Amino acid sequence: MAVKKMNRYVTLLLTLLLSLAVGFVFMLILGYQPLDAYLQLFRGAFIGSVNLGTTLQKFVPILLTGIGFAVAAKVGCFNAGIEGELYLGAMAAALTGHYIKGLPAPLHLLICFLAAIIVGALWAAIPALLKVKWGVNEIAVCILAGYVAKYITSYLCNGPFSAGSGVPQTPQVEEGVILPYIMEPSQANAGIFIAVLAVAAVIWLIYRSTIGYKFTTVGLNPYHADYMGINSKKVIVQGMMLSGALGGIAGAIEVLGTYGYFLDNFSLNIANDGMLSSMIVWNDIRLVPVMSFFIAALKAGALSMERFAGVPRSIVDTITAIFVVFATMETLFTIKKKRKAKSGKGGKKE
Amino acid sequence: MSDVFNLSLIYATIRSATPILFAALCATITQQADILNIGTEGIMLTSAFVAVLTSFMTGSWLIAILIAVLSGIVMALIMAVANIRYNAHIAAIGIAINMFALAITKFGLKQFLGTSGTFTSPDIAAIPRIHIAAFDNIPVLNEVFNNWCVTEVFGIIMVVVLWFLLFRTVWGLRVRCVGRLPMAAETAGIKVRALKYQVMIISGILGGLAGAHLSLGYSQMFADNITNGRGFLGVAAMNFGGMNPFLVWAGTLLFGFIDSVGSRLQSYGLPSQFVLMLPYVFTITVLAVAMWRKSRKEIKAKSAL
């Protein structure tokens, strides 16, 4: 996009400061202690192994869904339905994890992830195919399909695959496929290694492989790509499927690592946070990990901010959303700079 | 099946279609100027909260609607400034606005009403219903036309008003011109930016009405994410109706119909999740079919050349 490379980091920092300042003023007006709130936020995110572990646990799905959104953006699609892919992937992992028995653990784990990846990718293929075939707006379809996915999984874990315990959840997965906790007593689990591997693979794929080159070309200009002999429609579908697969992996890690079963409505818009973290950095895949870690920290710290500073934790979401609103404005700081440059000139003349 | 398909289904359809109708009109007016208003959901959610809050505080539904409309305008203007002045991608700012709305209403619920999740109170002044005493003894008219919510009638009026505005006024012609080809519009002396701001303000008004109706007319409460995708269904209905207010209205009525039939089928043992899923599945299908027909038409038109 139009923002220059060097400028990017400066802009990002300025945006961050601006949104923190808005949050500061906001809290001040409502009669809270903003400095104390930010301090508690920081403590709640990093100090102590429980807090840091919670940050890491929240980091994994935000990272994967964020990267997923960025990959789709690479081919010029807004995959606003990663939440749905996450739910379906989680359900696929939970079912294969419980109902397949007697396999060696590594193979079983692989099957769980493959199931999640396939389901996620296929679900994302629906809006992609509708887009390339008939030009249906993918944003609308993605969002609507997300609701459908959520209700499908809700039906499955309430009805045919219910654990029968009164709680809407599926039965516990087999012992062998559970990803162990790495920072007890928090819920941080070995899934983070899988996530990091997956993200490294995607970054390699996008920046170092032919497929990635095709993605970038199609994303910049599909007509140009077609002219060069790249089938842009096929590439768009591939990009969306990769994006959906990442959502599926995120769901699988939540089930196999954090919970051990599929719990109805467990995600509570995790994918939204992933989407935010990607949108803030203008879908730059290499910056998404940094931003998703930041957002995960905000999320983890919010709870202790509420407890110790008395500020409702939804203010964190509000500040994050303000951050995104500012970040989407491409020319927010460029215009200010131009003005400064002009006034600078004026000063010289005098 | 007589307890599924009967006369009261007509009003049930209108009832569940109206919130989507306002949202769809909110998306229609901007789409005519080539602005895809994904933020409909967010505008609607914010104003739904503001409506409940004002209604609870002042006890007047009219003031509540006014303030809700104002808040809708504010949200729409944030989008407009971001998109028109600062070059934000319209889908990106739309999604951002939706998340902002989700967060700020959750925060507001805790901050100003002291609860989280759901807020109901007998002190919320609801939008009144029109009771026509003359219909009381006429069974058909009574069942179909009596006790409509004021905003439900107003929604239908808005369809006509919007149609008139878009297709029978100079202003509407200019808006559609900007939507088709902004550069040509500019050459013809139309102030494109100003027009886009005006369109966004009107969309804010309609989105505000959508929210106010949802929380004060359709129900008398506010809950986290009370809109639950109705804004997106509105955007879909706009696509379905090809930006023509009357066709858009027909689209929302279809959704309303499916929604009410679905909820009646629940007593026949249809799992609730399928009932809830129905409007979304239906919308995707309808969207796909509508666009499929459009692309067929285009191919035919091309081959005729």
List chain A domain ranges.
1-32+311-344, 51-305
Longest dimension (CA), chain B: 65
> Would you call B271 and A80 a contact, using CB atoms and an 8 Å cutoff?
no
* Closest of A167, A173, A172 to residue A154, by C-alpha: A167
Q: Which residues of B touch A327 (CB under 8 A)?
A: 96
* Contact list, A30 vs chain B (CB under 8 Å): 111
- Is the pLDDT score of A254 beyond 70? yes
Give the three-state DSSP class for A189: strand
Taking the C-alpha atoms of residue A269 and residue A41, their distance in angstroms, rounded to an integer, is 21
> Per the CB < 8 Å rule, is A139 touching B91?
yes
Partner-chain residue, chosen from B99, B228, B239, that has the shortest CB–CB distance to A272: B99
pLDDT at A323: 86
State the smallest CA–CA distance between residue B228 and chain A in angstroms: 9
**Mean pLDDT along residues A216-228:** 91
The predicted model gives B8-20 an average pLDDT of 90
At A156, is the secondary structure helix, strand, or coil?
Answer: helix
pLDDT at B71 over 90: yes
pLDDT value at residue A344 = 43
**Cα distances (Å, whole numbers) of residue A261 to A176, A245, B26:** 13, 20, 41
The more confident residue out of A124 and B270 is A124
Q: Is B221 helix (H, G, I), strand (E, B) or coil?
A: strand
Residue B120 β-bridge partners:
B221
Predicted pLDDT of residue A345: 42
Residues 100-129 of B with CB under 8 A from A: 100, 102-104, 106-107, 110-111
Taking an 8 Å cut-off on Cβ atoms, the answer to whether A279 and B236 are in contact is no
Q: A135–B233: do the CB atoms touch at under 8 Å?
A: no
Residue among B92, B110, B280 whose CB faces A328 most closely: B92
B286: amino acid identity, one letter: V
Distance (Å) from the alpha carbon of A23 to chain B's nearest alpha carbon: 12
Number of A/B CB contacts below 8 angstroms equals: 135
What proportion of chain B, given as a percentage, has pLDDT over 90? 46
Q: Is the pLDDT of residue B162 over 50?
A: yes
Identify the sign of the CA torsion A184, A185, A191, A197.
Answer: negative
* Average pLDDT of the segment spanning B225-231: 89
Distance from CA of B115 to the nearest CA of A (A): 11
Give me the pLDDT at residue A243, please.
95
**What would the pLDDT profile of B104-142 be if each residue is shown by its tens digit?**
999 999 888 888 888 988 888 888 888 888 787 887 777
Mapping DSSP to helix (H, G, I), strand (E, B) and coil, where does residue B130 land?
strand
Q: CATH says A51-305 is which class?
A: mainly alpha
Predicted complex ipTM: 0.85
For the record, the structure tokens of B138 come out as: 């006429």
Q: How far apart are the C-alpha atoms of B298 and B295, rounded to whole Å?
A: 5
Phi/psi-derived region of residue A135, left when phi > 0, alpha when psi is between -120 and 50, beta in every other case: left
Q: Which residues pair with B222 in a beta bridge?
A: B119
* Gyration radius from chain A CA atoms: 22
Q: Measure the CA dihedral A113/A118/A123/A124, to 10°.
A: 90
> Which pLDDT tens digit goes with each residue over A286-300?
889 999 999 999 888
Cα separation, A211 vs B276, whole angstroms = 39
CA atoms of A228 and A225, how far apart (whole Å): 5
Please judge whether A279 and B96 are an interchain contact, meaning their C-beta atoms are less than 8 angstroms apart: yes
Percent of residues, chain A, with pLDDT higher than 70: 93
| Domains, chain B, with CATH or none | 8-304 (1.10.3470)
Q: Does residue A269 contact residue A83 with C-beta atoms inside 8 Å?
A: yes
Structural contact between residues A143 and A77, judged by C-beta atoms closer than 8 angstroms = no
